[in-house]
């Protein structure tokens, strides 16, 4: 075939796939109007949502990145490169007590490593046969594949399950007692990998270890920020429950975010706070992530070149007695053509150990004074704990909180 013929073929494949997906979504939205629930409107088998296997293009790192360098809505903080020995703690204090979100620069993972992981992720979501994906599901260990709408991050919403699919990876080399010396008590579970990911096992494992290293630095920063020894939190984080999560939000039609009807349709990721100590979020070229900076006030956190989004999770909010904020965030449906294609993201969830007690700390007067304007009132802290199903954080362990939140947001796997 000539190159122009091939190009034409590719364009037709893309147009056909887009039209096919659009038709399915439009049918579902029409059914929502009559049946009132997207979950009921879902086809019995979810495979209709999928791009056609083996014909879809892989993730293209050269795609336009229009939003990338707009004025950042949260601070950009350097983890420190050569010649920058300044400690992280004082640099992140304001951000973690205000929104709990910041961009992290100079983190040591190269753009090439990130691009590679995103293309491996796209290869999995767009090319791995359904049987292989499903074979690797393990909800008991929070590893492997999760299907479209299996998770509903905001269980209170009437919109139904989130329009995304994902794959959770536990520390691969740690699970086998590999390179790093992990006390067997804190070993993450081993898991099956589907062929498209198994062939990249080494690279993915290295990526996970790098994320763990960054999280250890962030945890040390959290401790230093409140005048604690830098190992205060890292001692309770052996990576046992940490997960790297590859996420794919398939193409969906553009919606008007302010329209009343949009509230009844599903969302890419419902409003939620993260469950652990901190999250590293890698975004590429498609936006949609928003943070609730004030009640009902949602601010976009667009991809920022070279930066990871870091946010505080519930465990750290409990531990810090509400000084650090685990803020609600979500991923909205496409608002423009640039958001309507597939969105890929990668999250590294850093979790406290199973037995870590999340007893709220006594925050020193010195730190309280520094954060005066942003301190959370005691009753607000209690209210936020209660909203997350926690009556007394002092009696909670890292493992208990994680399981409670996962149980609340996942529906059982279909057999
Ligand atoms: O995909 C994203 O950008 C955000 C995902 C997220 O917040 C989560 O999975 O907890
Ligand atoms: Fe999140």
Whether residue 217 is found in the same domain as residue 340: yes
Q: Is residue 415 part of a domain?
A: no
Whether residue 275 is found in the same domain as residue 312: yes
Of how many residues is the chain composed?
A: 415
Whether residue 7 is found in the same domain as residue 122: no
Whether residue 295 is found in the same domain as residue 332: yes
50: left (phi over 0), alpha (psi -120 to 50) or beta: beta
- Cα angle for residues 229, 273, 183 (degrees, 5° grid): 45
Instruction: Give the pLDDT score at 42.
Output: 28
Instruction: Give the pLDDT score at 380.
Output: 92
Residue to mutate (ligand 1; options 281, 285, 307, 342; most atoms within 8 A of CB): 281
CATH code, domain with 77: 2.60.120.330
Q: Is residue 232 part of a domain?
A: yes
Is the C-beta atom of 274 inside 6 A of ligand 1? Answer: yes
Is the C-beta atom of 350 inside 6 A of ligand 1? Answer: no
Whether residue 222 is found in the same domain as residue 267: yes
Instruction: Give the pLDDT score at 412.
Output: 67
- Cα angle for residues 100, 101, 104 (degrees, 5° grid): 130
Is the C-beta atom of 308 inside 6 A of ligand 1? Answer: no
Is the C-beta atom of 291 inside 6 A of ligand 1? Answer: no
Atom 9 in ligand 1: residue holding the nearest Cα: 347
Distance 269 CA to ligand 1 centre (A): 7
Whether residue 13 is found in the same domain as residue 157: no
Is the C-beta atom of 329 inside 6 A of ligand 1? Answer: yes
Q: Is residue 414 part of a domain?
A: no
Atom 3 in ligand 1: residue holding the nearest Cα: 289
Distance 399 CA to ligand 1 centre (A): 20
Q: Is residue 333 part of a domain?
A: yes
Is the C-beta atom of 286 inside 6 A of ligand 1? Answer: no
Instruction: Give the pLDDT score at 374.
Output: 87
Residue to mutate (ligand 1; options 150, 347, 408; most atoms within 8 A of CB): 347
Is the C-beta atom of 390 inside 6 A of ligand 1? Answer: no
Whether residue 13 is found in the same domain as residue 98: no
Atom 1 in ligand 1: residue holding the nearest Cα: 345
Instruction: Give the pLDDT score at 180.
Output: 60
Query: What is the residue range of 24's domain?
Result: 1-36
- Contact (CB, 8 A) for 288 and 343: yes
Whether residue 22 is found in the same domain as residue 64: no
Is the C-beta atom of 332 inside 6 A of ligand 1? Answer: no
Distance 3 CA to ligand 2 centre (A): 43
Whether residue 22 is found in the same domain as residue 116: no
| ipTM of the modeled complex | 0.99
Is the C-beta atom of 331 inside 6 A of ligand 1? Answer: yes
Query: Measuring CA to CA, how many Å separate 187 from each of 169, 206, 239, 242, 350?
Result: 13, 16, 8, 10, 14
Q: Is residue 329 part of a domain?
A: yes
Ligand nearest to the CA of 332: 1
Residue to mutate (ligand 1; options 274, 345, 408; most atoms within 8 A of CB): 345
Whether residue 47 is found in the same domain as residue 74: yes
Whether residue 160 is found in the same domain as residue 32: no
Q: Is residue 178 part of a domain?
A: yes
Q: In what order do the strands lie in the sheet with 101-105?
A: 76-78, 101-105, 308-312, 278-283, 343-350, 243-249, 165-169, 144-146
- Cα angle for residues 36, 41, 45 (degrees, 5° grid): 160
The distance from CA 391 to its chain's CA centroid, rounded to whole angstroms, is 26
- Specify the number of domains making up the chain: 2
Is the C-beta atom of 281 inside 6 A of ligand 1? Answer: yes
Whether residue 95 is found in the same domain as residue 16: no
Instruction: Give the pLDDT score at 266.
Output: 86
Q: Is residue 85 part of a domain?
A: yes
Q: Which ligand 1 atom sits nearest the alpha carbon of residue 345? A: 1
Which pTM value belongs to this model? Answer: 0.84
**pLDDT in single tens digits along all 415 residues of the chain:** 344 443 333 333 343 334 333 433 333 333 323 323 332 222 222 323 232 232 333 434 344 344 445 678 999 999 987 778 889 999 999 999 999 999 999 999 999 999 999 999 999 999 999 999 999 999 999 999 999 999 999 988 878 899 999 999 998 888 777 656 778 889 899 999 999 999 999 999 999 999 999 999 999 999 999 999 999 999 999 999 999 999 999 999 999 877 877 777 789 999 999 999 999 999 999 999 999 999 999 999 999 999 999 999 999 999 999 999 999 999 999 999 999 999 999 999 999 999 999 999 999 999 999 998 888 888 999 999 999 889 998 899 999 999 999 999 997 665 4
Instruction: Give the pLDDT score at 81.
Output: 73
What is the three-state SS of the chain? CCHHHHHHHHHHHHHHHHHHHHHHHHHHHHHHHHHCCHHHHCCCCHHHHCCCCCCCCCCCCCCCCCCCCCCCCCCEEECCCCCCCCCHHHHHHHHHHHCCEEEEECCCCCHHHHHHHHHHHHHHHHHCCHHHHHHCCEHHHCEEEECCCCECCCCCCCCCCCCCEEEEECCHHHHCCCCCCCCHHHCCCCCCCCHHHHCCHHHHHHHHHHHHHHHHHHHHHHHHHCCCCCCCCHHHCCCCCCEEEEEEECCCCCCCCCCHHHHHCCCCEEEECCCCCEEEEEECCCCCEEEEEECCEEEECCCCCCCEEEEECHHHHHHCCCCCCCCCEEECCCCCHHHCCCEEEEEEEECCCCCCECCCCCCCHHHHHHCHHHCCCHHHHHHHHHHCCCCCHHHCEHHHHHHHHHHHHECCCCC
């Amino acid at each position: 075939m000539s190159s122009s013929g091939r190009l034409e073929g590719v364009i037709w494949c893309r147009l056909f796939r887009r039209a096919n997906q659009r038709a399915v979504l439009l049918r579902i939205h029409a059914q929502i109007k009559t049946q009132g629930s997207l979950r009921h409107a879902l086809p019995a088998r979810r495979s209709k949502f999928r791009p056609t296997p083996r014909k879809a293009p892989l993730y293209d790192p050269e795609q336009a990145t229009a939003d990338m360098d707009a004025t950042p809505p949260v601070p950009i903080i350097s983890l420190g490169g050569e010649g920058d020995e300044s400690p992280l703690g004082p640099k992140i204090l304001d951000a973690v007590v205000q929104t709990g979100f910041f961009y992290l620069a100079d983190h040591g993972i190269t753009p090439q490593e990130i691009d590679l992981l995103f293309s491996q992720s796209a290869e999995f979501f767009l090319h791995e046969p359904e049987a292989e994906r499903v074979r690797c599901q393990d909800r008991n260990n929070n590893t492997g594949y999760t299907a479209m709408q299996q998770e509903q991050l905001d269980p209170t919403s009437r919109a139904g399950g989130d329009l995304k699919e994902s794959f959770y990876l536990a520390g691969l080399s740690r699970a086998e007692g590999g390179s790093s010396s992990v006390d067997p008590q804190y070993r993450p579970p081993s898991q099956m990998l589907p062929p498209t990911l198994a062939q990249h096992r080494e690279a993915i494992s290295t990526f996970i270890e790098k994320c763990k290293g960054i999280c250890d630095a962030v945890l040390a920063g959290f401790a230093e920020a409140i005048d604690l020894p830098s190992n205060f939190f890292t001692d309770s984080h052996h990576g046992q429950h940490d997960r790297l999560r590859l996420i794919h939000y398939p193409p969906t039609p553009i919606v008007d975010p302010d329209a009343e009807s949009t509230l009844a349709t599903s969302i890419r990721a419902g409003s939620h706070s993260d469950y652990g100590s901190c999250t590293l979020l890698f975004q590429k070229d498609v936006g949609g992530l928003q943070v609730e900076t004030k009640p009902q006030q949602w601010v976009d956190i667009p991809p920022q070149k070279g930066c990871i989004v870091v946010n505080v999770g519930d465990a750290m909010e409990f531990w810090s007695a509400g000084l650090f904020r685990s803020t609600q965030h979500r991923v909205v449906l496409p608002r423009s053509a640039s958001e309507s294609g597939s969105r890929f993201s990668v999250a590294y969830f850093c979790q406290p150990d199973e037995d870590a007690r999340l007893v709220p700390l006594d925050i020193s007067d010195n730190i309280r004074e520094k954060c005066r304007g942003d301190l959370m009132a005691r009753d607000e802290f209690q209210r936020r704990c209660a909203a997350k199903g926690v009556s007394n954080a002092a009696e909670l362990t890292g493992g208990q909180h994680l399981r409670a939140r996962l149980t609340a947001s996942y529906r059982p796997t279909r057999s």
